[in-house]
Chains A and B, each alone.
With several copies, the nearest count.
Chain A
């Protein structure tokens, strides 16, 4: 097992970035405070030293400017990986992502894609100040043209990052920052690219399925353990890709377990839970033993830290939804 190393998620990401910089001379990192400082979460710690300031580039402030510049870099053959410092600070770059990056391949009639990865530490649960806990995945998956992915543990973070960088189209890579230091996992020295199209069954189960991603996998897992004690076998499907969805895995979950719920931190209204519920209606309504339920963030700004636990989907709420479906 000497080729395995125990890392937490942020270390896995840092290793993944190092691997990309090492293996691909055209890759480079851009962002605020990612150089000497190593990023506010230390996701780029040590990389400036190894790769120099032309490959691990501290940008001035202005997310529109440096995300836009990353788009331009792609045109001359570079493979930029951009770090947005915190979730809510991607909004100034929203137009560059939605109206520009997302449309480049389409604007070249399919000929050229932008090999661009935008890393965004996101989500709540870290007791951070206002606007440091947003979940913007729906925005980027509703507006067409971008891939949106979310890892849930160190291994998937490394493997999905490497895959995102190789994809050839822009990827919004959402990192559940609450999971950054939530425990270590043995990962290989070199990450193999994940199949970004595939959701992964994190826990087998036959009575119901909890569809989740990112930090919510942990919540789903805790709930599934409790359900197991009650004799309920809950499957956990880690979506990983928010757009496109792994339709096959979602439909299979519905067909095989008959009950599906979706758990996410983002607001409920028009969130991913809605999409899954609608998809199941359209495709396998007759296979459902219970309505598809959603356990989500609230339709309000993410609360300041004293109340964030109230707003984050909890094990209790997942259990309540599970029982609601089971009793249906």
Chain B
């Protein structure tokens, strides 16, 4: 049976090696959705090269570094999961481009509203990777400092974070703060009522919010064809009077430009934008998922040329922005940042439940104080054992 790539090998090779390139292999499922999507890396070689040469070199390298950090995090997380050091983990392998771009295209004061699939974006705001890894370990140290990084707590229920993003953006405008908010969602999330209410409200009040919909064409085992009749998610924006941008999700430069354009609109008072990043889920839904049950791994592999790290690497190299060795070094640097992470996880002391109970309310109610947390003081000779 086909397997997804081993951790640390890329792209998603199984047998036949594939070459990173301008687009997915011929016949790749859902590749037609990429038509009309903005791209830099998908242009003819010479155009890509001239576009990349026009980028400030440091900005391009920063994007690559951000992607490399995300990849290093993701690979490490998968290993940690297999080692039993963290619990079930939703890999974002293949989403590094859009995620890195979304953070770097915004300012430090802008708000991000991640889902379970963007747990590492907070690291691009300076949060130690240990924190999100502790989240997947089920350790309360996994909750990052929301106000410091302006990244909301990871939102597990699908689409429930999107109204929050609207409220933050709208509220900031009401308070005269110059900031935008970005809410992440998947193709599946667009089917949920909260997506709808968020988009409608944002449009009506003109909230400076960006809905970044990562259309990876799958919601666990549910293909986009079974999720919506309108697989070009951007088309849904018109129902709210929201402009939309379609962009190649595996193209960090195009994604950067798309988010930046949306942010510019928001900042200049033009309200919300929906950015549809068109990609394909290159890996399983998460470590507990078994995609061979529901999709054809052979044809999935036709998307391997789009794997964003290698694709970006080759394009930057071809454009002469950086040498292959320089880029490899960035990758190594990113991986090195995590070298002691397994140890750091293990050595993070457990938190007593009494301490957690004291974090629920500003003033801890009597039922949650240490003396009563397990049970009220019982009559008779008993009491907590």
Distance in angstroms between the alpha carbons of A69 and B200 in the assembled complex:
12
B222: which A residues are within 8 A, CB to CB?
Answer: 32-33, 58, 60-61
The A interface is mostly helix, strand or loop, or mixed, namely mixed
| A101-118 to B contact mask, C-beta < 8 Å, 1/0 | 001111111111100000
Pick from B164, B165, B288 the residue with the most CB of A within 10 Å: B164
B226/A58 in contact, CB under 8 A = yes
Q: Is B23 an interface residue (CB 8 A)?
A: no
- Pick out which of these stretches binds chain A: B42-50, B67-75, B364-372: B364-372
A130: Cβ under 8 A from any B Cβ: yes
The reply to whether A320 and B167 contact each other, CB–CB distance below 8 Å, is no
Residues from chain B with Cβ under 8 Å of A189 in the complex: none
A interface, size bucket: 35 or more
User: Residue among B191, B356, B361 with the most chain A CB within 10 A?
Assistant: B361
Q: Which single member of A37, A130, A282, A328 contacts B156 (CB below 8 Å)? A: A130
Q: Of residues 140 to 165 in B, which have CB atoms within 8 Å of A's CB atoms? A: 140, 142-143, 145-147, 152-160, 162-165
Residue B168 at the chain A interface, CB threshold 8 Å = yes
Contact A244 B164 (CB under 8 A): no
Partner of A105, one of B169, B359, B382: B359
A321 to B378, CA, bound (A): 8
Residues of B within 8 A of A132 (CB): 156
Q: Is B239 an interface residue (CB 8 A)?
A: no
Determine how close the nearest CB of chain B comes to the CB of A321; give it in whole angstroms. Answer: 6
Q: Are A144 and B360 in contact (CB under 8 A)?
A: yes
Contacts of A61 in B (CB 8 A): 158-159, 188-189, 191-192, 219, 222, 227
Residues of B within 8 A of A247 (CB): 366
B171 engages A68 (CB within 8 Å): no
A125 at the interface (CB under 8 A from B): no
| Stretch binding the partner chain, chosen from B5-13, B93-101, B174-182, B253-261 | B174-182
Given A104-B153, A298-B373, A307-B351, A72 and B360 contact (CB-CB distance below 8 Å): no
Contact assessment for B167 and A68 in the assembled complex, using a CB-CB cutoff below 8 Å: yes
The closest CB in chain A to the CB of B189 belongs to A61
The 4 lowest CB-CB distance pairs between A and B, nearest first, are A324-B382, A68-B163, A72-B167, A305-B138
Q: Would you give 14 A-B contacts (Cβ < 8 Å), ordered by A? A: A33-B220, A61-B188, A61-B192, A62-B196, A72-B169, A75-B146, A76-B172, A78-B175, A105-B359, A108-B143, A109-B359, A113-B362, A279-B376, A295-B375
- The interface of chain B, by Cβ under 8 A from chain A, is 87-88, 111, 113, 116, 135-140, 142-143, 145-147, 152-160, 162-172, 174-175, 177, 179, 181, 188-189, 191-194, 196-198, 200-201, 204-205, 219-222, 226-228, 288, 290, 293-294, 350-353, 356-363, 365-368, 373-385
